[in-house]
């Protein structure tokens, strides 16, 4: 690290669990974040500020006025811009040393197969059930760590799935694929503005923790946040050997 980086990240360096070794791991890491909406807008700035070396941010959507209630990377002059372009501009002002690759594309399997090759962690900040299963399936196949967050109305959840660990479940173990699933999103159901900030920053913290390698990430655990009661619950998760993605039920 150079002198500017030593100063910028000095508060991390004071933490024994991070120190210079952990900070260098962050600086040399590459994180793929899928979704530049509410969750992504809370997660990605903390990844960039903390010193992630490269962030690939992908989203096909554009900023509109309804987003500004909760999507803090986007501002009034972002309306009409692609969310990834708006996000990249925000992140470059926040930390110019972070390399940001902005892809204005809708995620699909060939693109994800291409992007996932050289990343350390994938963060799912989407709001689409089918997309979540696609991301999980590719992460399982490539044994990439997946940090997954979700938020709707007043309820949020976060977990970490790491198939390098033989006991770790995958997303499909917890939320089995359902071809008849009826999609819901905040456009029709609403979302409490700070909720996406809470869940998104927890997802960022989990990502940093996994990369640095300290403490106990939410591996095999689902953290649930209820914004109505300010109650946090935790559910232990087990790998399902009959899971169609990571278990014996896999085709």
Does residue 245 fall inside a structural domain?
no
Asked if 215 and 53 touch (Cβ cutoff 8 Å), the reply is no
Per the structure, the complete domain to which residue 64 belongs is given by: 3-236
- Give the predicted TM-score (pTM) of the model: 0.94
Reduced to 3 states (helix: H, G, I; strand: E, B; else coil), residue 38 is helix
Does residue 72 fall inside a structural domain?
yes
Indicate which CATH number applies to the domain containing 12.
3.40.50.720
Reduced to 3 states (helix: H, G, I; strand: E, B; else coil), residue 224 is strand
Q: How does residue 166 score in pLDDT terms, banded at 50, 70 and 90? A: confident
Asked if 33 and 135 touch (Cβ cutoff 8 Å), the reply is no
Does residue 227 fall inside a structural domain?
yes
Kindly state the tokens that stand for 22: 């952990």
**pLDDT score, position 178:** 78
Over the stretch 112-140, which tens digit does the pLDDT of each residue have?
999 999 999 999 999 899 999 999 999 99
Asked if 120 and 145 touch (Cβ cutoff 8 Å), the reply is yes
Give the closest residue to 26 by CA, choosing from 62, 9, 50, 4.
Answer: 50
The length of the chain, given as a count of residues: 251
Helix axes 19-27, 193-212, angle to 10 degrees: 110
Torsion (CA) 173, 175, 181, 187 in degrees, nearest 10? -150
Q: Structural domain tally of the chain?
A: 1
Does residue 249 fall inside a structural domain?
no
Q: What distance in Å separates the CA atoms of residue 222 and residue 239, rounded to the nearest whole number?
A: 13
Has residue 251 got a pLDDT over 60? Answer: no
Q: What whole-number percentage of the chain has pLDDT above 70?
A: 95
Give the closest residue to 45 by CA, choosing from 3, 13, 86.
Answer: 86
Does residue 212 fall inside a structural domain?
yes
Does residue 251 fall inside a structural domain?
no
Mean pLDDT of 176-192: 76
Does residue 244 fall inside a structural domain?
no
**pLDDT score, position 186:** 67
**pLDDT score, position 84:** 98
Q: Buried b / exposed e across 122-131, counting CB within 10 Å, b at 16+?
A: bbbbbbebeb
Q: How far is CA 180 from CA 20, 129, 137, 173, 176, in A?
A: 49, 11, 19, 17, 12
DSSP 137-177: HHHHHHT-EEEEEEEEBTEEEEEEE-TTSTT---HHHHS--
Q: How does residue 250 score in pLDDT terms, banded at 50, 70 and 90? A: low
**pLDDT score, position 27:** 98
Mean pLDDT of 26-53: 98
β-sheet bridge partners, residue 149: 158
Does residue 243 fall inside a structural domain?
no
């Amino acid at each position: 690290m150079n002198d500017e980086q030593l100063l910028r990240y000095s508060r991390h360096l004071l933490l024994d669990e991070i120190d210079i070794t952990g900070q260098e791991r962050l600086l040399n890491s590459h994180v793929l974040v899928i979704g530049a909406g509410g969750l992504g807008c809370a997660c990605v700035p903390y990844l960039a500020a903390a010193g992630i070396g490269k962030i690939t941010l992908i989203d096909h959507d554009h900023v509109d006025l309804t987003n500004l209630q909760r999507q803090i990377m986007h501002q009034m002059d972002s309306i009409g811009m692609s969310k990834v372009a708006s996000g990249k501009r925000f992140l470059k002002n926040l930390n110019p040393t972070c390399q940001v690759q902005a892809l204005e594309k809708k995620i699909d399997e060939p693109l994800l197969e291409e992007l996932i090759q050289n990343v350390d962690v994938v963060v799912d900040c989407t709001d689409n059930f089918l997309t979540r299963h696609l991301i999980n399936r590719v992460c399982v196949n490539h044994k990439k760590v997946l940090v997954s967050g979700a938020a709707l109305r007043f309820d949020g959840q976060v977990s970490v799935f790491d198939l390098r660990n033989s006991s770790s479940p995958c997303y499909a173990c917890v939320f089995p694929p359902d071809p008849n699933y009826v999609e819901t999103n905040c456009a029709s159901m609403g979302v409490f503005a700070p909720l996406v900030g809470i869940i998104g920053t927890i997802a960022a913290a989990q990502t940093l923790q996994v990369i640095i390698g300290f403490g106990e990430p939410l591996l095999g655990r689902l953290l649930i946040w209820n914004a109505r009661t300010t109650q946090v619950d935790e559910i232990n998760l087990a790998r399902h050997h009959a899971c169609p993605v990571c278990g014996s039920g896999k085709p």
